[in-house]
Amino acid sequence: MNILRTITLAIPVIFTWLLMINCSKKNTPVVQETPNPTNRIEKLLQEMTLEEKIGQMTQYNGFWDATGPVPNGGDAKWKYDHLRSGKVGAVLNVSGVENVRKMQEVAVKESRLGIPLLFGLDVIHGHKTVSPIPLAESASWDLEAIKESARMAAIEASARGINWTFAPMVDISRDARWGRVMEGGGEDPYLGSQIGKARVQGFQGADLSAHNTIAATAKHLAGYGFSESGRDYNTVDVGTSTLYNVILPPFKACVDAGVSSVMNSFNTLNGIPATGNHFLQRDLLNGRWDFNGFVVSDWGSIKEMIDHGHAADLEDATIKAANAGSNMDMESYAYVNHLKKAVEEGKVKMEVIDDAVRRILNIKEQLGLFDDPYRYCDAAREKELPNHKDHHATALDIARKSIVLLKNNKNNLPLSTSQKSIAVIGPLASDKNSPLGSWRFGSDDNTAISVLEGLDAQNISYKYEKGAELVTAKTSFLEEVKVNETDKSGFDAAIKLAKESEVVIMVLGEHGFQSGEGRSRTKLDFPGVQQELLEAVHAVNPNIILVVMSGRPLVLTWAEENLPAIVQSWQLGTQSGHAITDVLMGNYNPSGKLPMTFPRSVGQIPIYYNALKTGRPGPIDLVFWSHYIDESNAPLYPFGYGLSYTNFKYSNLKTTHQAVDQANFVKVTVTLKNTGKRAGREVAQLYIRDLVASIARPVKELKGFQLVDLDANESKTIEFTLHKDDLSFYDNEGKLIFEPGKFEFFVGGDSNASLQESLVIE
């Protein structure tokens, strides 16, 4: 009886499995069943015409100033007509309760079936209140604070009518030339996964239907962060092992955390555009990972399949994208114009359409939009929540935690309040815009607390000279940012001030829009004449505290060699100046750790800690080993690095293994002591190395970290627990495998951690 039952149960499973293999071979769509569609959705699906279904799969950019009269001409007119006839499922870049409500009213009251719209926006780091850029937040390694920051962003954005964000970006990147590193979690798949998950949880909260939670999007699937030579939108060429072990894990973590949508990417993967990539979207995401949400294309990425040379025309691109699992078209006008014909001609099956629509409607249902389409349109909340003073406290908290102290050799920091004369020099010290960074659509220009304002707020007396301008042109998200500043007329005044002062705080770096999308750079120095200014000031007063504001790792080699103190402040958002002052004055003891390796020179890029050993690791005295003849292999600052105003000592590392218990497979304990004179926080990091494997493993891999607060002289024993999966890796078919053998375990304050124990695990 039991055998019979097992066979009966197994038949459909085997059949589906065979079908999947067969279909993926032929590259025809495998449409997984969308789990638990509600009756309402099924009923709707039965009532919908093909045009209405395709409408749900279509997203338009903000097209009509809804607070004005209904448009009667041009681009907005036809989009408006589409809205009324149910040919639009989502819009982006429309915000504000009044705008959103008016547009939602057209969809709900004037279209035949009254299906509410999704309102999407790039809510990337805060909204009206701006948090540090994501790369900076990642430097906090503080998952609770990161989650809280995303929560705050969701509260503010949802109060302005938004119900869907295109975040988190979880693209791993090893290349600081790529401007979008500012948007992600850095170079490490483990840290990136934890951060991606925390941000999804923050945006989506415990209940997606609450009026203060929004649907999140893990983007960009996949490989976008590996654009060759750091040039945005460039070709991506990655090996299978890197794809499975480095690029994909953060996406998987977001899917496991229940992310509502996934955005595909502009690049190709093995020659197939991600947007038309059956393997990524259907086999992996919907299949192996059991993803319940929907896939949105990136902006115009369906159309770009033509430029990639993968589709002959928009009709061809439409067929390929839809079949490959791109459920919603953002701004290619592909589905709205070509999908109907493709279905009628049998080139896209009705089940592909139904699957996409079901997935999209499911998210609308989960957001509670069918019960109340105006759930996010409460004018009272809009008045109260964006820029709420409690949010400033949240933004300040994470801003302080994001700062990384890179150098403090002579303990020049923290500054003493009795300092006789402080000079502040540099264009970014008075800048209220750059600290807001890129991707901050909800915010108002010039609303960051500048460094000068931060010092003023704490009654620190100083004298200021700008010294130089950062950029000449007015810059915005949509303008090209070029630095052609050559004016040195401010140098003399800056040099004079430096000469007369005891200490100089120099605030240098990048303009807020010099990183972000389309902002790749070949040089990672200080743009314009800032380096010259720095050296000119240094010539008269070497006692310089350098504060670096940037959206990416810069090459700070000269500064490291010549200056006593360097603070990496990134772009810290609304509370920037307060956070920086707190660190400079010692009101906050810095605890940030780098989420990306800082190179010594651009020629070392891509540079990352979790590299393979190579066949010629060296160093040997001969020429023929893996090295440069003009530069060391070592980075300037390694991944995980960051100093504190106190010191920490690690000792007594112990490892134990329990073969029977997968969840507690290996336990690692270590004693951590604060050996300095003040309280501080250390991010204790655990790395492993799998010495011999069928597929070579990196020299180190982060597998755990803990934030440990210790008073002066206090010590604690900390324990890391590793699951068997943590010692496993993905083979080249994407299967997680464990191979017995010798493993090394390292614990320390950065990826150079040298305290080490090993275990042979059979």
- Asked whether the beta carbons of 742 and 693 are under 8 A apart, the reply is no
- Asked whether the beta carbons of 423 and 497 are under 8 A apart, the reply is yes
Nearer to ligand BGC, 166 or 650 (CB): 166
Give me the least distance between CB of 79 and ligand BGC, in Å please. Answer: 17
Nearer to ligand BGC, 92 or 643 (CB): 92
Q: Tell which positions 89-108 bind ligand BGC, by CB under 6 A.
A: 92
**Which DSSP string do the residues of 658-701 spell out, in sequence order?**
-TT-STTSEEEEEEEEE-SSS-EEEEEEEEEEE-S-SS---S-E
| Neighbour tally for 540: CB within 10 Å | 15
Nearer to ligand BGC, 90 or 547 (CB): 90
Alpha helices (H) along 403-549: 451-457, 491-500, 530-540
Per-residue CA distances from 21 to 9, 16, 91, 210, 366 (Å): 19, 9, 36, 40, 32
Q: Tell which positions 116-145 bind ligand BGC, by CB under 6 A.
A: 122
Alpha helices (H) along 208-294: 240-242, 249-256, 278
Write the interaction track for ligand BGC spanning residues 466-505; mark x where CB under 6 A is met and - where it is not.
----------------------------------------
Give me the least distance between CB of 181 and ligand BGC, in Å please. Answer: 13
Give me the least distance between CB of 90 and ligand BGC, in Å please. Answer: 12
Nearer to ligand BGC, 166 or 244 (CB): 166
Nearer to ligand BGC, 219 or 600 (CB): 219
Give me the least distance between CB of 628 and ligand BGC, in Å please. Answer: 34
Residue 279 interacts with ligand BGC (CB under 6 A)?
A: no
Give me the least distance between CB of 651 and ligand BGC, in Å please. Answer: 45
Nearer to ligand BGC, 122 or 397 (CB): 122
- Asked whether the beta carbons of 473 and 483 are under 8 A apart, the reply is no
Beta-strand relationship, 329-330 and 261-264: unpaired
- Asked whether the beta carbons of 294 and 363 are under 8 A apart, the reply is yes
Residue 166 interacts with ligand BGC (CB under 6 A)?
A: yes
Strand (E) or helix (H) holding 395: helix 389-402
Alpha carbon distance 491, 509 (integer Å): 17
Q: How many residues interact with ligand BGC (rule CB under 6 A)? A: 7
378 catalytic residue (yes or no): no
Q: Which of 80, 178, 279, 299 lies at the binding interface for ligand BGC (CB under 6 A)?
A: 299
Rounded (10°) angle between helices 350-366 and 335-344: 140
Nearer to ligand BGC, 225 or 590 (CB): 225
Nearer to ligand BGC, 478 or 629 (CB): 478
Nearer to ligand BGC, 166 or 251 (CB): 166
Q: Is 563 exposed, middle or buried (0-12, 13-18, 19+ CB in 10 A)?
A: buried
Q: Which of 142, 187, 283, 298 lies at the binding interface for ligand BGC (CB under 6 A)?
A: 298
**Which DSSP string do the residues of 87-116 spell out, in sequence order?**
--SEEES--SHHHHHHHHHIIIIISSS-PP
Q: Which of 329, 397, 517, 726 lies at the binding interface for ligand BGC (CB under 6 A)?
A: 517
Q: Tell which positions 335-394 bind ligand BGC, by CB under 6 A.
A: none
Give me the least distance between CB of 190 and ligand BGC, in Å please. Answer: 23
| Neighbour tally for 256: CB within 10 Å | 15
Give me the least distance between CB of 227 and ligand BGC, in Å please. Answer: 12
Residue 251 interacts with ligand BGC (CB under 6 A)?
A: no
- Asked whether the beta carbons of 263 and 207 are under 8 A apart, the reply is no
Alpha helices (H) along 604-669: none
Nearer to ligand BGC, 137 or 726 (CB): 137
| Neighbour tally for 212: CB within 10 Å | 18
- Sign of CA pseudo-dihedral 71, 74, 80, 84: positive
Give me the least distance between CB of 122 and ligand BGC, in Å please. Answer: 5
Find the residue with minimal CB distance to ligand BGC: 166
Nearer to ligand BGC, 80 or 439 (CB): 439
Alpha carbon distance 596, 266 (integer Å): 23
Catalytic hit among 122, 142, 175, 298: 298
What tokens were used for 205? 């909260």
What tokens were used for 526? 């200080």
**Which DSSP string do the residues of 152-213 spell out, in sequence order?**
HHHHHHHTTT--EE---B------TTSGGGGGS--S-HHHHHHHHHHHHHHHH-S-TTSTT-
Beta-strand relationship, 666-674 and 715-722: antiparallel
Give me the least distance between CB of 518 and ligand BGC, in Å please. Answer: 8
Nearer to ligand BGC, 166 or 464 (CB): 166
State phi, psi for 315 to the nearest 5 degrees: -65, -45
Residues in the chain: 762
Give me the least distance between CB of 254 and ligand BGC, in Å please. Answer: 15
Give me the least distance between CB of 220 and ligand BGC, in Å please. Answer: 6
Alpha carbon distance 215, 364 (integer Å): 9
Mapped onto helix, strand or coil, the DSSP state of residue 753 is coil
- Asked whether the beta carbons of 368 and 213 are under 8 A apart, the reply is no
Q: Tell which positions 39-98 bind ligand BGC, by CB under 6 A.
A: 92
Write the interaction track for ligand BGC spanning residues 210-229; mark x where CB under 6 A is met and - where it is not.
---------x----------
Amino acid at 525: D
CA 310 to chain centre: 28
| Neighbour tally for 687: CB within 10 Å | 27
- Sign of CA pseudo-dihedral 190, 191, 192, 195: positive
Give me the least distance between CB of 63 and ligand BGC, in Å please. Answer: 14
Alpha carbon distance 262, 221 (integer Å): 7
Contacts with ligand BGC, residue ranges (CB under 6 A): 92, 122, 166, 219, 298-299, 517
Catalytic sites, residue numbers:
298
